Amino acid sequence: MRKTIAAAVAVLALGLTGAADAKTLKVQASSAPGDWAHRFMTDGWQQKVEEMSGGSLKLEVLPTKAVVPHKETIDAVANGILDGDMNAVSYFSGRDPAFAIMGDLIAGYDTPEQVQTFCMEGGGKEILQKLYDKYGNGKIHVVGCGPYTKEALVSKIPIKTVEEFKGVKIRSPEGLAAEVFKRAGASPVSLPFSEVYTSLEKGIVDAADASAYVNNDASGMHKVALFPLYPGIHSMAVLQFVVNKDVWNKLTPGERTILEVWYVAAYSTMRRQADLLDQDLVARDKAGGKITVINWSDAERAKFRKIAVGAWEDFGEKSPLAKEALAAHISFMKRTGLLD
C-alpha cells in the first residue's frame, strides 16, 4: 500500500514538474487576427502541440506585427526575440533574390500540393536552410515550408486578360511577384496583407495579390473589390516554419519530431479546408450576382506564364543561391512531369 501511494505521489510530482517546465514557443505569422488562416491556427491547431507533447511543449501563434514588423521576423528569430516564425518567405526578397524564387515561383505550379511536395520532399527546405545559414547567422532552423492555397487575386476592376493589367496599381510582395506584374504592364505596390483592405478602399491600389478566397472574404475584400480572379492566375505564397536554433537544440528529440509532424499535418489540413471553403464561397458569390468571379482562359494563363518564366530566369542569375533555388525547382518539375 505504501509503495502504491509513493508511486502515485511520484507520478503526480512528475506531472506537476512537467507542467511547470512546459516550453511555450511564441511564433509570429503573416496572417491578421480576423483572417480565416489565423483562426485556423489559434482556434484548434496550435493547441494540438500541447496535446501531442503531453503538456511539455506549447505553441502560441501570434498575428502579423504582434512583436515586430513583417519584414523583420527572421532577425527577431535569430536574435531570440521570437522563438519562431510562420511568415511569407517572399517578404525577405530584398536580402537575396533566392528568397523570391523560394517564396513564390509565380505561375510555376498548378496546385499547392505540388509546391508543398517540392518544399518538404523535393529539395526546397534544404535550399531555405542554406539561405538562413547565410542570412540568419546560422541561428535559424527550418522546420518546414509550403503554401496552403493558390491565391485569388482581388480587384476593383475587371481584369480578364494579360493586356488588361496595363496601368493597374496592384499590391504585390517585392521581388519576383512584383517583377512579373511589372512585365505584364501593371504598377506593383509593396504592402503587407494587413493593409490591403484599406489600400483598396482608399484607391491606393486597384487590385491585390492577396490571399486565399476564404481569407479575402473574411477580411471584407469583396465588399470593395467586386471582380476577384478565381482560380488564381499567379501566386502560391510559400509560408515557412522556422525556429531559433538554440531553442530547437534545447527541445528533446521527441518534441522536435512533434513539431515536424504537427507542421505537415496542420498545413495539409489547412490546404484541404481552404480549398473546400474557397469553392463554397465562389459558388455563393456567383449565385449572388453582386460579385463577378473571373476565370482566365487557358490561352491567357499561358501568356502570363510565359512572362513569368522570363522573370524566373533573370532572377536566377542575380545570386548564386537564386541560381541554385531555381535549379532545384526545375529539377523537381522535370522529375514530376511538370516540365519536359
Q: Are 225 and 156 in contact (CB under 8 A)?
A: yes
CB-based contacts of 20: which residues, under 8 Å, 6+ apart? none
The CATH H-level (homologous superfamily) assignment of domain 23-148+237-277 is Bacterial extracellular solute-binding protein, family 7 (3.40.190.170)
Distance CA 219, CA 212 (A): 11
pLDDT at residue 174 in the model: 75
pLDDT digits (tens, 9 = 90+) for 270-284: 999 999 999 999 999
Same fold, 23-148+237-277 and 152-235+285-335: yes
- Distance, C-alpha 273 to centroid of its chain: 15
pLDDT at residue 212 in the model: 87
pLDDT digits (tens, 9 = 90+) for 113-136: 999 999 999 999 999 999 999 999
State the fold for domain 152-235+285-335. D-Maltodextrin-Binding Protein; domain 2 (3.40.190)
pLDDT at residue 8 in the model: 35
CB-based contacts of 114: which residues, under 8 Å, 6+ apart? 336, 338
Please state, in angstroms and as integers, the Cα–Cα distance from residue 188 to each residue in 26, 117, 221, 238, 302, following that order.
33, 29, 18, 19, 21
Q: What is the mean pLDDT of the chain?
A: 90
Q: Are 123 and 190 in contact (CB under 8 A)?
A: no
> What predicted TM-score, i.e. pTM, was given to this entire model?
0.82
pLDDT at residue 314 in the model: 93
pLDDT at residue 227 in the model: 98
Pairing of strands 57-62, 207-211: unpaired
pLDDT at residue 160 in the model: 96
